[in-house]
Amino acid sequence: MFAYLIVLATDLEFMPKFIKPFLLCTLLGISFSDYFIPEFKNIDQRDRVIVTAKNISSTRQSASSSASILDDSAPKLEYKRLMQLFSDRKLSKAPIDEVLQTVSTKFLGATYREGLLDQGETEKLFVSLTEFDCVLFVETVLAFSRNLLAIDSTYENFVENVQSVRYIDGRLDGYCSRLHYFSEWIRDHQKRNIVRDLTAELGGIPLNKTLNFMSSNWQKYPRLKHNKANYQCILAMEKKIELEMQSEQLRYIPSAKIRSIYPLLKAGDIIAVTTDIKGLDATHTGFVYPTANGIGFIHASPSGKVKISPDLQRYVERVDHAIGIMVARPTQP
């Protein structure tokens, strides 16, 4: 999970306000002080928004060591099943936008679950094809799609693709090797020609902020709270991002302008929902999903499953603290 805020959605409409925080703490397994509840707004129909900071487990591990990968027997079986479904679709020679839309559709209805990357005390490569948070969904669909287009489309190659899209330069080397801020995720992937940042050319305006949410809220992240080395590493990472931003300014497309760029968007374009929360760049992510009625948004929704929100701008406008989007287009492998 990226270090940005996770947007959790639950149907709380009929619950007394004073009970909500305590029940949610119990359900999520966190202390009352580890989250805050902003003003609720509808997202799509009955979704409700809660914003909470989450941590990422970490310890240095070799990227090539089999010990750095969590048990993958279940994902292997699911991978085989999915590959059989795609076997007659001739996707290996298709444009990546078509592949991304086809692959993402296969996960509709899959369970939303947070904390999947936080399991255990060490940073291990986690692979899931049945449960996702929003970032895990984007990474998995992107890795699976790139694997379908590769000469070697084995499960092992898919796993390598997952690692490649999750870590700096594709190398798993502990907590700080994870791409924690979404804008840095885009920047790293653009350097490696995995995506192309379209935000500026689509009319994006400057996003003037310093990304320091993690270090400023270290007490909300157990891996920072109880590990001074991790905290120092995150501080250094944020300083590096600050230097990079001096030459590559962050940009975003304001919420009210999103609909105007619909004709320029393609299936599979990666959307990051930008935020006005201090020190943070984005709170949610998913893919552009064109439909007969316009531009939708397919994502692992905190309301409980992978779903298609029918109108991208409408969705973003109803996300608490959202101010717009960043757009990155996956490149053809």
Q: What is the pLDDT of residue 93?
A: 87
47 DSSP 8-state letter? B
Q: In whole angstroms, give the CA distance from residue 38 to residue 321.
A: 9
pLDDT at 7 over 90: no
Q: Is the pTM of this model over 0.85?
A: no
- Distance (Å) of CA 186 to CA 145, 270, 282: 17, 9, 12
Q: In whole angstroms, give the CA distance from residue 135 to residue 284.
A: 8
pLDDT at 97 over 90: yes
Strands (E), the chain: 6-8, 35-36, 50-52, 111-112, 131-132, 195-197, 205-206, 251-254, 270-275, 282-291, 294-301, 305-309, 322-330
Q: What is the pLDDT of residue 1?
A: 47
pLDDT band for position 69 (cuts 50, 70, 90) = low
- Distance (Å) of CA 86 to CA 103, 106, 142, 267, 289: 9, 10, 15, 18, 19
Q: What is the pLDDT of residue 59?
A: 32
Q: What is the pLDDT of residue 68?
A: 52
Q: In whole angstroms, give the CA distance from residue 12 to residue 254.
A: 29
**Would you say 181 and 2 are in contact if contact means Cβ atoms under 8 Å apart?**
yes
Strand 35-36 versus strand 195-197 pairing type? unpaired
Q: What phi, psi does 18 have (nearest 5°)?
A: -75, -15
Q: What percent of the chain has pLDDT over 70?
A: 77
Residue type, 17: K
Mean pLDDT of 103-111: 97
Mean pLDDT of 176-183: 95
3-state SS class at 16: coil
Q: Is 288 exposed, middle or buried (0-12, 13-18, 19+ CB in 10 A)?
A: buried
Q: How many residues does the chain have?
A: 333
pLDDT band for position 233 (cuts 50, 70, 90) = very high
| pLDDT tens, position by position, 286-330 | 999 999 999 999 999 999 999 999 999 999 999 999 999 999 999
Mean pLDDT of 162-178: 95
CA 182 centroid distance within chain: 7
Which residues touch 39 (CB under 8 Å, ≥6 apart)? 320
Superfamily of chain region 66-175: Putative xylanase like domain (1.10.3670.10)
Q: What is the pLDDT of residue 12?
A: 38
Mean pLDDT of 74-102: 91
Q: What percent of the chain has pLDDT over 90?
A: 66
pLDDT band for position 71 (cuts 50, 70, 90) = low
Q: In whole angstroms, give the CA distance from residue 59 to residue 201.
A: 39
pLDDT at 10 over 80: no
